[in-house]
Structure 1
Amino acid sequence: MRVPFIKMHGLGNDFVVLDARLNALPPITARIAAALADRCEGIGCDQLVLLEPSADADFRMRIFNSDGGEVGACGNAARAVALLHGSAARVETAGGIISVEPDDAGARVDMGRPRFEWDAIPLAYPMDTASMPVGWEVMDNPGAVNVGNPHVVCFVEDCDAIALEQVGPAIENDPLFPERVNVNCAAIESRSRIRLRVWERGAGLTRACGTGACATAVVAMRRGLVDNRVTVVLPGGPLTIEWADTNPAAGASIVMTGPASEAYRGSFEWEDYA
């Protein structure tokens, strides 16, 4: 069975997109997803993205990290899918329904409402998620938020000076986070600019993480460190994040704007990876 794919990326965070909206594919297991994502023996990507029909939205987007685990959200993939779809759409994800729309900057994505309750992250036990009384080396007093997937955000003076490839796995797998967690290491440069590096749950260090940019921005906004519209600069480039109301009870959605690109198209034999 020959299966077509589209290779795309958002600021270097790359995806293999399988479009099964019209022609169904066999079930994708964690083993198949990891095999396709393998950069030596597969196609290679940070995330495998599967598009399927949806009864509740224009279509459904499923996301598998490079370790094969399925996750609830991916902001960079949402922008890529917006460009691939070519028009505004409501997209069902495991983290909820989001809205996407291509624009002059690439794509604009309504990522939905952030969740700050300790059991929505989730954490192993109750605590204040705005400033958590925990730490790992110099990364202490983080904030936590769920933006379709769980994130912890630590603010430091120089995020480039942190050995995130060493501390990231320890935080990701800390018992405090029963579903593991995405780790964001951020430096506030001004009221309108944040520099960010991300250790992504199930994928490791990444050039860009859209949900990480959203999480970091809203945690910073919640603390009053930045304005309601901010540029988050990742190793792969900048994203614009807006959150209209920093009162968590108000229910405002996070809006992310940034580029995405198609790299190439190809096909593979399903049986080679099944």
Structure 2
Amino acid sequence: MQVRFHKMHGLGNDFVVIDARAAPVEITERRARALADRKTGVGCDQLILLERSDIADARMRIFNADGGEVEACGNATRCVVSLLGGTATIESLGGMLEGTSIGDQVSVDLGEPRFEWDAIPLAYAMDTRAMPVGWEELESPAAVNVGNPHVIFFVPETDAVPLDRLGPLIETDPLFPARINVNVASVDDRGNIRLRVWERGVGLTDACGTGACATAVAAIRAGLVDSPVTVTLPGGPLTIDWAPGRPIRMTGPATHVFTAETDLSRFG
């Protein structure tokens, strides 16, 4: 079965986007993993499948590089809005999303964050502003659900943290029954945060839009920064605007790399 796809990225967080609104496309965990493989597949951090929606311009399904389907991806949302053009609404497992594309910049509303322990979710109740847990030098994280689950550690220097080693340990800790995205952040001043992310089911990424949102929300909630705040990841900066009781708004670039076709039967 020949299928047309788009290769896109948001600050280096890259995607294979398949538009299946006109004709259904079956994506299994095995097929998503095979397509995402950078040596034998197309290669991407996430596979994005667009389907028809009765309540939005498109329904977005997100498959991580390990084949698992997840609820949200901020960078992918910007890329999908850019692909759809203008102002677009998107149905997702993480909720209804809306965005506007202006040139190479895209702003998206990702809904209101959740802070309740069982909304993260955690295995048992605790204060999500500063959780009384730690993994070696990483201690007292905040937890935020922005459509998918995140923990945020504020540290003096993000590059000093061995996130490639600690990230998978924290991601799969029994405290997080749905696993977790792991963020390490340094606050430079009241308008700037530096961030690295270990993404659930992916690993270290150049950028994570929901990670930037969760980190900004946690920093604003703790009184460390003012909104809007610039969150700079290895791939570049995102602007996050949030106030309590309001949805999170994220603004940043979305880049279309190329369009091609492939035979899906080659990928299981």
* TM-score exceeds 0.5: yes
Aligned residue in 2 for 1:70? 69
Distance 1:207 1:137 in 2: 24
Q: Would you say 1:261 and 2:255 are equivalent positions?
A: yes
TM-superposed deviation, 1:104: 4.3
Q: Aligned runs of 1:31-180 on 2, under 5 Å?
A: 31-104=30-103, 106-180=105-179
Q: Segments of 4+ in structure 1 off by > 2 A?
A: none
Match of 2:215 in 1: 216
- 2:2 alignment counterpart: 2
Cα shift at 1:138: 1.5
- The one-letter amino acid paired with 2:11 is L
Q: Secondary structure at the match of 2:119?
A: coil
How far has the Cα of 1:169 moved from its partner? Answer: 0.3
Supply the AA of the counterpart residue of 2:95.
G
Give the secondary-structure state (helix, strand or coil) at the position aligned to 2:108. strand
The structural deviation recorded for 1:105 is 5.3
1:192-236 Cα shifts (integer Å, max 9, x gaps): 000000000000000000000000000000000000210000000
Residue 82 of structure 1 deviates from its aligned partner by 1.0
- Once residues 141 and 186 of structure 2 are traced to their aligned partners in structure 1, the CA distance between those partners, rounded to angstroms, is 12
Determine what percentage of the aligned residue pairs are the same residue.
61
- Equivalent residue letter for 1:191: R
TM-score, reference length from structure 2: 0.99
Residue 19 of structure 1: aligned partner? 19
- The runs of 5 or more residues in structure 1 that have no matched partner are none
Which amino acid is 2:262 matched to? F
Q: Which amino acid aligns with 2:169?
A: A
Whether contact under 8 Å (2:109, 2:249) holds in the other structure is yes
Offset from partner CA, 1:28-63 (integer Å, 9 cap, x none)? 110000000000000000000000011121110100
What is the CA–CA distance in structure 1 between the aligned matches of 2:104 and 2:220, rounded to whole Å? 23
CA contact (8 A) 1:121 1:150 kept: yes
- Structure 1 contact 229–240 (Cα < 8 Å) conserved: yes
Q: Is the 8 A contact 1:105 1:257 kept in 2?
A: no
Counterpart for residue 230 of structure 2: 231
How far apart, CA to CA, are the structure 1 residues paired with 2:194 and 2:104? Answer: 20
Give the whole-Å Cα distance in 1 for the aligned partners of 2:79 and 2:104. 12
Letter in 1 for 2:255: S
Larger CA deviation: 193-202 vs 131-140: 131-140
User: Given the alignment, which residue of 267, 270, 273 partners 2:264?
Assistant: 270
Separation of aligned partners in 2, 1:34 and 1:93: 20
Distance 1:210 1:237 in 2: 11
8 Å contact from structure 2 (residues 104, 255) kept in 1 = no
Task: Measure the CA separation in 1 of the matches of 2:83 and 2:58.
Answer: 12
